[in-house]
Amino acid sequence: MVQAKPSHVAPVTDSPSRLSPEAIEEMFRRFQEAKPAPESELDYRNPFTLLVAVVLSAQATDAGVNRATEKLFDLADTPEKMVALGEERVRDMIKTIGLYRNKAKNVIALSQKLIEDFDGEVPRDRAALESLPGVGRKTANVVMNVAFGAPTMAVDTHIFRVCNRTGLAPGKTPLDVEHGLEAVVPDKYARHAHHWLILHGRYVCKARKPLCGECVIRDLCLYPDKTA
């Protein structure tokens, strides 16, 4: 006997998602219902401090970055103040963060470039952001989304895992997943989509032991090894 496909499996073979549009709509509706206005867990005061915090967060926890930047941002919340503070002082203040030496160098260099090329303002477009030292595509996407409200998809390890496990936007690379999300996430959810997915991956759909019993999208998810 041939079993019917679950209703949430996408019937369109060329879709970047294995879920149906109806299932994707329901997934994000539930995420929105649970947390209507998700926010970054990085502490920041303006677009510049957000940019610095995201650069520092590579291979580090948000909580660890927040502890290090509290005093740093008291002293330097603009590119001009950061350059005046100097690389050695920045390095000393962020030494609890992994790769702190290289990150301190990048923070000073990007601050100098902001002053020289952008009148001290954080640019709003991806190409300009990626021209800054230490800023890659994911960092640019976070800044564009959080600081300026762009519906970008900043794919980190959590989002990559969630999208592959659930079938929402499977892909072999973060860029594959990013493009998949851009194609299937309904416009009305795009502004907060990457935050919902990050939080879901960080606290529920964990790497080693996902908390499937607490998952609000358990019935939509295609992961075959669900936990109790």
Judged on CB neighbours under 10 Å (0-12, 13-18, 19+), 178 is buried
138 a catalytic residue: yes
Tell me whether residue 163 is annotated as binding: no
Instruction: Indicate which residue of 74, 125, 138, 219 is catalytic.
Output: 138
* Bridge partner list, 19: 9
Instruction: Indicate which residue of 14, 43, 81, 156 is catalytic.
Output: 156
State the binding site for [4Fe-4S] cluster.
205, 212, 215, 221
Q: Which residues are catalytic?
A: 138, 156
